[in-house]
Amino acid sequence: MKSFLLKNKMLLVVFSLILSVTCYGQKKKESPADSSSGKIGKATIAINYCSPSVRGRKIWGGLVPYNKVWRAGANEATTFTTDQNIQVEGKLLPAGKYGFFLIPGETAWIVIFNRIYDQWGAYDYDKSADVLRVEVKPKILSALSERLVYKINSYGFSLIWENLEISVSVK
């Protein structure tokens, strides 16, 4: 009888453990991993990022402060990969994989491609590892974009989030 009860208790513990691991694994991430890829001319471009939501927050000048380096997404630093040399806003960016960072401003943004791509956020950002910096102007959108998204098209790529679009030309 004791062995029967012991077996039932063990079975209950194992079942509970499996159930709790399964439920925990189903938890929805607040900023899920996402990616965008496409061709611009002969180059294949890929952007890997984590996509946060607005969730009622003020993003630009609030959650993401002006005039500070930002990881251009959530969690790990956003990465930008090109398999060909490209011109970004008229300046050469050699083929490779880069950490992609932004410095948001009220009227102009700095776009940064950095040699160090494997890092958490922008906490260890090292300006001396920048390969290229260019300036772009934000565009105000009429509709809210709840989730941060990157789009690649024939003229370049855009970051769209909250009420702004940041377009970067690529040739």
pLDDT digits (tens, 9 = 90+) for 59-92: 999 999 999 999 999 999 999 999 999 999 999 9
Element (H, E) at 112: strand 109-114
Confidence of residue 123 (pLDDT cuts 50, 70, 90): confident
29 has pLDDT over 80 = no
Question: What sign does the dihedral 129-131-136-138 (CA atoms) show?
Answer: negative
pLDDT at 17: 46
Instruction: Tell me how far apart the alpha carbons of residues 35 and 103 are, in angstroms, rounded to a whole number.
Output: 21
pLDDT at 122: 87
pLDDT digits (tens, 9 = 90+) for 84-116: 999 999 999 999 999 999 999 999 999 999 999
Domain boundaries, the chain: 30-169
Confidence of residue 9 (pLDDT cuts 50, 70, 90): low
